[in-house]
Amino acid sequence: MNHSTLRTLTEVLLKAGNKLDLNRLIQLTTDDHQRVEVDGTGKSVVLTRPTEWMEFLRRSFASLKSVQDRLDWEILDFQEQVGDTLGVVKMKYRQTGLVAGKLAMQLFWVSLVWKETEEGWKNSFWHASRLEVRPL
């Protein structure tokens, strides 16, 4: 894999999240993926089983539907290490979303692991930490 592929995959993953596209997110992740997400109150949520992640996304997407047209993101810093079958990303990104029911800008540090599968490269690990929140 080359470096631009890893950046592109990460952008596709972020776009799918903003479009609330559950099917695309499923296509982009491995069956054994693990995640640490940030909920609407800012708390870390550890998700070690795909069923937990699906339920987390369904709840999150239901609350975001009313502001879906205002969701946005931008990668501010992107660093990566790429091997033959694994790629690791550390990125800082800005996201516009809901915080405690109100539209806000959030800054995150995220670590991702991409791995090569028979179906292509897929995300197998995601750890998000929220750095800052600014009401809009």
pLDDT in tens, the chain (136 residues): 665 889 999 999 999 998 999 999 999 999 889 999 998 788 899 999 888 998 999 998 988 888 888 889 999 999 999 999 999 999 999 999 877 778 889 999 999 999 999 999 999 999 999 999 998 8
pTM of the model: 0.88
- C-alpha 62/C-alpha 97 separation (Å) is 13
- C-alpha 98/C-alpha 105 separation (Å) is 8
pLDDT value at residue 65: 85
With contact defined as beta carbons under 8 Å apart, do 50 and 30 qualify? no
| CATH of residue 111 | 3.10.450.50
Range of the domain at 13: 3-135
- Number of independent structural domains in the chain: 1
Token readout for 111 is: 């670590």
